[in-house]
Amino acid sequence: MKAPDFDYQSPETLEAALALLADADGMAEPLAGGQSLMPMMNFRLAAPETLVDLNGIPGLSGVAIEDSWVAIGATTRYCDLEDDKEVIEAVPLIAKVLPHIAHAAIRNRGTIGGSIALADPAAEMPAVLLALGGEVVLQSASARRTVKADDFFLGIYETVREPEELVVAVRLPKAKPHDRFGFHEIVRRHGDYAMAGCIVAADATLAGVRVAFFGVGDRPLRAERAEDALAGSDGGPAALHAAVAALSDLECDGDVSTSADTKRHLAGVALKRAFSELTA
């Protein structure tokens, strides 16, 4: 369990990092918090020729609060978000979710950009992005583009990011006064990847409710039929029941200890519990 040989580069500017990625012909990996990449390299599941360490690039971490968006730099660590009152006020969902992401030691290193770029289907942050309708800012040596969360995730560890692109920021919409959020994940042990997790983001009337799941399929999943069942409803038991029933076509995959059917059942439980926890 030792990583194969690799080159290590520690660029001091974003431009230099992007140039390294552009020249690497897909054989370089950006290194942010390293909480997933390093174990994958040690398992020899990842074998980049070059690691481009982003941690020395000023300006790639930190938060900018705009009129209706919060832009979070890619190398912003979870622990910094946990302690940032302005972020928590602007995106209250984050405060609900962060304590469930692994353990404190991992949150001390792990970054939001790393989690989004990796796109682990069981990770919480991609589902937060999806549930809130956030955006991912991608930059390459030659271009910058912003991709909506709904279009970003393609499959297990697969996104629209090109090898020469970096996730430079994650943009989340600021909560409006009557917005409410519910989060629930079903784990056997605190800090584990969820067996099933659900995030509900709603306005006062449930008109624009968004429901996202993680840990059930090959990517964070929006449950649009469940959203339809809830949208504009009174949020009562009948609507919730219909929303759970509408998960019948949720694209669930089993894992080593839990079948797809169980995942679907647990997704329904997580939805009910997340919905019942809707708070501003």
Partnered with residue 184 across adjacent β-strands are 198
Q: State which residue, 4 or 208, has the beta carbon closest to another protein.
A: 4
Among 2, 8, 85, 142, binds another protein (CB under 8 A): 2
Residue 237 in contact with another protein, rule: CB under 8 A: no
Pick from 85, 142, 177, 189 the residue near another protein by CB under 8 A.
Answer: 189
* Angle of helix 260-276 versus helix 237-245 axis, rounded to 10: 150
Amino acid at 98: L
Please pick, from the candidates 22, 38, 269, 278, the single residue that binds another protein as defined by CB under 8 A. 269
26 binds another protein (CB under 8 A): no
Query: Is residue 190 close enough to count as binding another protein by CB under 8 A?
Result: yes
Q: Of the two residues 142 and 257, which places its CB atom closer to another protein in the complex?
A: 257
Task: Establish if 76 lies at the interface with another protein (CB under 8 A).
Answer: no
Q: How far is CA 280 from CA 129, 179, 186, in A?
A: 17, 6, 22
Residue 85 engages another protein in binding (rule: CB under 8 A): no
Site membership for another protein, residue 4 (CB under 8 A): yes
Measure the CA–CA gap between 77 and 33, rounded to whole angstroms: 8
**Which listed range, 24-32, 144-152, 192-200, 220-228, lies at the site for another protein (CB under 8 A)?**
192-200
Say which residues have a Cβ less than 8 Å from residue 105's Cβ, sequence separation at least 6.
none
Closest contact distance (angstroms) between CB of 81 and another protein is 22
For residue 198 the two structure tokens come to 């659900």
Specify whether the CB–CB gap between 250 and 213 falls below 8 A.
Answer: yes
Question: What is the rounded distance in angstroms from the CA atom of residue 99 to the CA atom of residue 82?
Answer: 8
Q: Which of 261, 276, 279, 280 binds another protein (CB under 8 A)?
A: 261
* Contact map string, positions 145 to 184, toward another protein, x by CB under 8 A: ----------------------------------------
Q: Which residues contact 49 (CB under 8 A, 6 or more apart)?
A: 6, 7, 24, 27, 28
192 binds another protein (CB under 8 A): yes
Query: Does the protein bind another protein through residue 193 (CB under 8 A)?
Result: yes
Chain centre to alpha carbon of residue 175: 17
φ, ψ (nearest 5 deg) of residue 273: -75, -40
